[in-house]
Each structure stands twice: as C-alpha cells, then as structure tokens.
Amino acid sequence: MQIENIGNEKYLLVYCDRIAGSKDKTGIYYSVFDGTWSEPKLISSPENGSTEPYLINTNDKAYVAWTDVKSVDIYIYSTDLINRLQLKYTKMLYI
C-alpha cells in the first residue's frame, strides 16, 4: 500500500486486494482522498492476478506500476515463471 500527496489537499492511495468474486486473484486498486476517500477502483486486468503496486509521483503526473501473473501452477520451472510475469503500468490522471 502506498499513499502520495498529489497536491491541493488530495492524496492518492494504491494497494493490492482480492478481486471481488475471485477465489485466488488479486488486483491493483486506487482511491483518491479529497476530504473523504473515493470508492476504490480496479486499475489492473481482472483476468490476471496482479501484485506489488508501486506508485511514482512526479508532481504533475502519477504512475502506478505492478506485476501481472498470467497463471500459477505449482509444477512450473523458473524459466516458465519468468514468462508468466509481466510488468504493467498506467498513468493516473488527477481528479
């Protein structure tokens, strides 16, 4: 979980949590504080499990990067695991 001050008394929160209705997938969510916290919104793909959000704030823009996992299998080799992980990111627009 990360919180960043995005100016004008607003804060941006990003975190990882279980996707509603899923038994084993997590997603990356964000919420904006402007006196009260906004309803959390999913920014990662619900088809893949996502983890490890990282928030980068550059004063006028914010970016969120995370790891997407295409699938998980207990019998995978390390080279297969590398192929199943993807780094994703999105630019957040200040509200």
Are 40 and 27 in contact by the 8 Å Cβ rule? The answer is: no
Are 55 and 62 in contact by the 8 Å Cβ rule? The answer is: yes
Locate 75 and state its tokens.
């019998």
Who wins on pLDDT, 52 or 39?
39
Locate 85 and state its tokens.
């992980």
If you average pLDDT over residues 36-56, what whole number do you get?
88
Question: Confidence class of residue 93 from pLDDT cuts 50, 70 and 90?
Answer: low
Q: Distance (Å, rounded) from C-alpha 1 to C-alpha 51?
A: 11
**Is the pLDDT assigned to residue 70 strictly greater than 70?**
no
**Is the pLDDT assigned to residue 85 strictly greater than 80?**
no
